[in-house]
A and B are shown apart, each in its own frame.
Chain A
Amino acid sequence: MSFNYDQYIRGGKLPHIWCPGCTYGIVFKSLLRAVDSLKIKKDDVALVSGIGCASRLPGYVDFNTLHTTHGRALPFATGLKMARPDKHVMVVSGDGDATAIGGNHFIHACRRNIDITVMVFNNFIYGMTGGQYSPTTPSGHLATTMPYGNIDPSFNIPELAKGAGASWVGRGTAYHAAALDKLIVEAIQHKGLSVLEIINACPTTHGRRNKFKSPTDMLLWMKDNSLPITAFDKLPPEKTAGKFPTGVLFKREAPEYCDTYKALVERVQKPKEGRA
């Protein structure tokens, strides 16, 4: 039986704003399938975003949804989670939103290890504003603000998240949609800050300027240049040059922030021994 997306999509809010060939719709559907498989009640989810194309996603979904200011989804989400630690708080962000203007919030959310699921839709460009280079635009690529080729070094988002203290880090792509479902499920289930980078394509403002003849070419690029982490780790460096690993890249057990805060509250509220 085919999956019933309508149970999660708000009536009258489609069509979405994304361009033809944009891969965000694929990821959107994957997210809905993942949440559904976990049997989470819609009332118990808050989906928070900042600004950019990806950040328009929450508006289409029948959860508690919050479309905030540029780069600030994580601190808004942190407020929600601290106020209601019993609920699921998820963030949808983009490469510019999460790692440029929101970079400080990103690393500190990772450090705190608060139980929020962060999905970074990395399309390597500022799409909504028309194709300016972002912290993940590949070297040499053309962008409206790098008309002679990008000279800025790029962020590796999973490495950044790991270095900052995130306790679960993964990477999926829009091409590998079935695998993405599983990654989103695991990211949600993980207790702590989980960062899932999702490789996406923006044919309109990135692909067309950078020798991708069609949106399909961009999806095929994901297929041809990615390797599951298990295979990636076994190969010598010369075989993995230019390719990126996918899957669960890193995880560790670490105290979750709301739990630690709850323990602090209990400690403070406990009557002191030896006193009347």
Chain B
Amino acid sequence: MGKLKLLQGNEACAEGALYAGCTFFAGYPITPSTEVAEFMARNLPKIGGAFLQMEDEIAAMAAIIGGSLAGKKSLTATSGPGFSLKQENMGFAGLCEVPCVIVNVMRGGPSTGVPTGPGQSDIMQCKWGTHGDHPVICLTPGYVQEVFTETVRAFNLAEKYRTPVIIAFDEIVGHMRERIEVPDKGVLPVENRPRPTCRPEEYLPYDDTKGDVPPMANFFEGYRYHVTGLNHGSDGFPVNACARIHTDELRLIRKVESNKKDIIRYEDYLTSDAEVAVFAYGVSGRSGKAAVDMARAEGIKAGLFRPLTIWPFPDDEVAALSKKVKGIVVPELSLGQIIFEVERCAKGRCKVDGIYRVDGDPITPGQILAKIKEVK
């Protein structure tokens, strides 16, 4: 038995980061994510880790990439406008394959929007926010316990696949307090980046001949190499050769796409005999589950598909779901974003109907139940 704690989602996120071995945080104050930074400011010095409050969100993202290149597992946390500012350097981390974790506690938007209310309208920004084609892993926990475990998993995925990983949860999940168990050390697996075993003079930082994830040397450890945001060859230096650029971009995407089985996680709640399914994550997933219970109590066969990994999208699972239900209800705190992905995978095999809300309040179980009845 680990330690029982009463924590906010934001605090559980920071606890999870420490459990995963994070020793470097750089951030900038922004509602509703600030508690992550505050927790790290209190606790990182206790373990000799580095905490930096930078001059802006751009700098915070840059600093964690620097920290990670020097061998530290690194975290930043932000919300809406700050997440927009981080995008350029997130693309840098993606192309340069620097492991790091970015927390986005989603609020209402666009612009300053509703800083103190929940939102889910950054979910496409999580995938497409930075320019260019790039790999994306994005996790969407819905309970405080899950925020903890998914943060540990985010670090593991970042290290294992050498890529930035986003954890996106809404303000309600971030600020809600729930009892969680922080497991003893060793209970949850903790992964570390693949390391080179060759001699430094033989090291190629982006060698793609032995697998899609090349071993990563840290700075100052004898493997002197070059990191650049320009498209680069296996030796890390800029290239203009079309063939290399194309194959390397494909490899970056493949790191994630060919490992979907390992990366994708979801909760399947009563969908096996369901006639109507709810597809929802975060706080909307919580309402979705309550709505399914209410529907079942009335004898309606409803179920819930709740993704914990939203990117890469669980294409196969949603396609399979669309083959067995009459309809899928998609409640989201946006004016309709993730529903496009559900529609794409359902391919017209069943009805797909959304419930949208962007006024700073969550979608209620009652709203979802009404839609379940409509779709049935």
List the interface of chain A (C-beta within 8 A of B). Answer: 10, 13, 42-44, 46, 48, 58-59, 62-69, 72, 74-84, 87, 104-105, 107-108, 261, 264-265, 268-269
- A80 near B67 with CB under 8 A, answer yes
Q: A105-B59, A268-B45 are in contact. Are A66 and B220 (CB under 8 A)?
A: no
- B54 near A43 with CB under 8 A, answer no
Quick one: which of B27-55 are within 8 Å of A by CB? 45-46, 48, 50, 52, 54-55
What 4 additional pairs, Cβ within 8 angstroms, besides A79-B70, A87-B219, A261-B50? A13-B237, A43-B220, A68-B62, A82-B67
Q: Does any Cβ of A come within 8 Å of B259's Cβ?
A: no
- A63 near B224 with CB under 8 A, answer yes
A112 to chain B, nearest CB (A): 9
Can you list, as one digit per residue, whether each of B245-267 has a CB less than 8 Å from chain A (1) or not (0)? 00000000000000000000000
List the interface of chain B (C-beta within 8 A of A). Answer: 24, 26, 45-46, 48, 50, 52, 54-56, 58-60, 62-72, 74, 88-89, 92, 219-222, 224-230, 237-238
A104 vs B62: C-alpha distance when bound (angstroms): 13
The answer, among A66, A83, A265, for a CB contact under 8 Å with B72, is A83
- A82 near B219 with CB under 8 A, answer no
Which B residues lie within 8 Å of A62 (CB)? 224
A177 vs B318: C-alpha distance when bound (angstroms): 66
A268 vs B219: C-alpha distance when bound (angstroms): 28
- A104 near B56 with CB under 8 A, answer yes
Q: A46-B219, A265-B48, A269-B45 are in contact. Are A78 and B228 (CB under 8 A)?
A: no
A153 vs B59: C-alpha distance when bound (angstroms): 27
- B24 near A65 with CB under 8 A, answer no
Which B residues lie within 8 Å of A104 (CB)? 55-56, 59
Q: A75-B63, A108-B54 are in contact. Are A80 and B69 (CB under 8 A)?
A: yes
- Most chain A CB neighbours (cut-off 10 Å) among B220, B221, B237: B220
B137 to chain A, nearest CB (A): 21
- B227 near A75 with CB under 8 A, answer no
The answer, among A13, A43, A79, for a CB contact under 8 Å with B24, is A79
A238 vs B266: C-alpha distance when bound (angstroms): 76
Which B residues lie within 8 Å of A80 (CB)? 66-67, 69-70, 219
- B220 near A79 with CB under 8 A, answer no
The answer, among B54, B70, B224, B226, for a CB contact under 8 Å with A75, is B54
Which B residues lie within 8 Å of A265 (CB)? 45, 48
- B62 near A76 with CB under 8 A, answer yes
Interface SS, A side: helix
A68 vs B238: C-alpha distance when bound (angstroms): 12
A265 vs B72: C-alpha distance when bound (angstroms): 17
29 A-B contacts, Cβ less than 8 Å apart?
A: A42-B224, A43-B220, A43-B221, A44-B220, A46-B220, A59-B228, A64-B220, A64-B225, A66-B66, A66-B219, A68-B89, A68-B92, A75-B54, A75-B58, A75-B59, A75-B66, A77-B66, A78-B63, A79-B24, A80-B67, A80-B69, A80-B219, A83-B24, A83-B66, A83-B70, A87-B220, A108-B59, A264-B45, A265-B45
Which A residues lie within 8 Å of B46 (CB)? 268-269
- B65 near A105 with CB under 8 A, answer no
A79 vs B64: C-alpha distance when bound (angstroms): 6
A42 vs B222: C-alpha distance when bound (angstroms): 9
A268 vs B51: C-alpha distance when bound (angstroms): 13
- B63 near A79 with CB under 8 A, answer yes
Which B residues lie within 8 Å of A67 (CB)? 226-230
- A64 near B219 with CB under 8 A, answer yes
- B226 near A65 with CB under 8 A, answer yes
A45 to chain B, nearest CB (A): 9
A269 vs B89: C-alpha distance when bound (angstroms): 33
Which A residues lie within 8 Å of B48 (CB)? 265, 269
Which A residues lie within 8 Å of B229 (CB)? 67-69
Residue of B nearest to A65 (CB): B226
Which B residues lie within 8 Å of A79 (CB)? 24, 26, 52, 62-70, 74
A72 vs B64: C-alpha distance when bound (angstroms): 12
A77 vs B56: C-alpha distance when bound (angstroms): 15
Which B residues lie within 8 Å of A105 (CB)? 55, 58-59, 62
- A83 near B71 with CB under 8 A, answer yes
Which A residues lie within 8 Å of B45 (CB)? 264-265, 268-269
A67 vs B95: C-alpha distance when bound (angstroms): 12
Leading 7 A-B pairs by shortest Cβ distance: A79-B66, A83-B70, A75-B62, A75-B59, A79-B63, A108-B55, A67-B228
